[in-house]
């Protein structure tokens, strides 16, 4: 028996038997519905169930028409911030990320946009969150408070108010945020926590969802060997298949969250690309974006820093992101009060999530229909490559540096 996650569509029973193509994809192909009208009238209703299954139970679950995807539960872990000793002292400038992305001169503030942060929780008493309604849910089982500090820093970068005259939030007009604690205070979690949190955020109509974690393939394989006595080859095989199953489930759930009814517009998912590259060791020591950032429909975000000849890609930032954002020397809220500077693609993801909220407000205020795909299109189309040092290219920074509405590339 092993622990598995079942992703169900609670509305599957409302569908008549004659099939036509519906948006999304199941474990074995397209999700089917009987007419295009029903595609629009009966939305996806994702629900996650975590159960212990035998091999026979697993085969039976695969035949259940409500089950859209199945994955073996596996550990997740925080994308850890990088040490500040690799950053130049003058990179830790207050608000440089807001200036680089044009958020500091944007007339919009993210007002009216609901965001969700899937991380280590937040310090709800921090001055950065005054005036923000924080709806919190502890999926990790360690309490809503952020004893780690990562989630507080990320959330404040997205929508924090100024602290002691220092601007830290990209979208400081946001007044409604969902805070899902999916990682314990030591930065560990599991995919069942993550998928439950995504369903929760979608059900609460988050417009933008930000994540800074990764599937812990190596840690899972090691646990199977050390705690369960698996041979190394078998443990590696089980961990790899679990990784693939979870990536497929993430893609399916992303489709379901994006393909909401016409009155909701869907959720845009953004994830940190990862901090696994080591360009200071060797220029060839580059690692591709990790999951869930690598999943379909997810905007993966790499990190950039100031450089003498333009913006540089951070030496730790994983390659092949969708786009890039400031992620070195980022000053934001510290759990317990005050401010601190951190490096990482998590900080970059927070900048991009704040900019996504600005684009959502832009669409709403200009009379356009606000959808996840519409926000994504604005993020992609407005990104600029003009500011990067010549030694970097699209493999390093994707479509370019994320830009706020009205930003003017220099």
Q: Is 150 a catalytic residue?
A: yes
Structure tokens at 175: 């007044």
Out of 126, 137, 145, 150, which one is annotated catalytic? 150
- Return the bridge partners of 72, or none: 4
CA 122 – CA 146 distance, rounded (Å):
5
Contacts for 314 with CB less than 8 Å, ≥ 6 apart = 82, 302, 303, 304, 305, 327, 328, 343, 345
The one catalytic residue in 212, 346, 351, 382 is 346
**Of 9, 119, 123, 276, catalytic:** 119
Tokens of 125: 């008493």
Asked about 410 being catalytic, the answer comes back as no
Distance of CA 26 to the CA centre of its chain: 22
Burial of residue 367 (number of CB atoms within 10 Å: 0-12, 13-18, 19+) = exposed
Q: Which of 181, 154, 193 is nearest to 75 (CA)?
A: 193
In 39-194 the beta strands, taken as DSSP E runs, fall at 46-53, 67-72, 75-78, 114-119, 133-138, 176-181, 188-190
CB 347 within 8 A of CB 327: yes
The residue count of the chain comes to 410
Active-site annotation holds for 186: no
Q: How are beta strands 30-33 and 20-25 bridged, if at all?
A: antiparallel
List residues with catalytic annotation: 119, 150, 346
């Amino acid at each position: 028996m092993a622990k598995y996650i079942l992703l169900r569509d609670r509305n599957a029973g409302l569908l008549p038997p004659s099939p036509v193509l519906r948006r999304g994809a199941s474990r074995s192909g397209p999700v089917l519905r009987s007419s295009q009208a029903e595609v629009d009238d009966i939305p996806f209703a994702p629900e996650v169930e975590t159960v212990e299954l035998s091999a026979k139970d697993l085969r039976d679950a695969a035949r259940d028409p409500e089950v859209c995807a199945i994955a073996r539960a596996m550990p997740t872990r925080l994308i850890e911030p990088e040490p500040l000793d690799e950053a130049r002292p003058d990179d830790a400038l207050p608000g440089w990320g807001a200036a680089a992305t044009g958020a500091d001169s944007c007339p919009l503030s993210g007002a009216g946009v609901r965001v969700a942060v899937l991380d280590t929780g937040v310090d709800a008493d921090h001055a950065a969150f005054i005036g923000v309604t924080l709806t919190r849910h502890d999926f990790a089982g360690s309490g809503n408070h952020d004893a780690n500090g990562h989630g507080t820093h990320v959330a404040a970068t997205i929508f924090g108010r100024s602290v002691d005259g220092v601007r830290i939030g990209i979208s400081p007009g946001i007044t409604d945020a969902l805070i899902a604690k999916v990682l314990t205070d030591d930065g560990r979690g599991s995919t069942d926590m993550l998928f439950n949190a995504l369903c929760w955020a979608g059900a609460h109509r988050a417009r933008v969802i930000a994540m800074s974690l990764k599937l812990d393939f190596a840690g899972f394989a090691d646990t199977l060997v050390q705690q369960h006595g698996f041979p190394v080859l078998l443990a590696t095989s089980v961990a790899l298949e679990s990784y693939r199953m979870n990536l497929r489930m993430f893609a399916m759930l992303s489709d379901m969250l994006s393909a909401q009814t016409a009155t909701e517009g869907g959720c845009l998912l953004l994830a940190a690309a990862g901090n696994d590259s080591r360009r200071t060791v060797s220029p060839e020591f580059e690692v591709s974006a990790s999951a869930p950032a690598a999943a379909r429909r997810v905007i993966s975000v790499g990190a950039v820093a100031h450089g003498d000849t333009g913006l540089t890609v951070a030496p730790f930032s994983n390659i092949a992101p969708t786009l890039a954002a400031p992620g070195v020397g980022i000053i934001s809220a510290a759990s317990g009060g005050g401010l601190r500077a951190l490096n990482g693609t998590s900080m970059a993801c927070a900048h991009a999530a704040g900019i996504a909220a600005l684009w959502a407000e832009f669409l709403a205020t200009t009379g356009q229909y606000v959808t996840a795909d519409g926000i994504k299109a604005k993020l992609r189309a407005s990104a600029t490559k003009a500011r990067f040092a010549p030694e970097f290219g699209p493999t390093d920074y994707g479509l370019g540096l994320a830009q706020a509405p009205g930003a003017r590339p220099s």
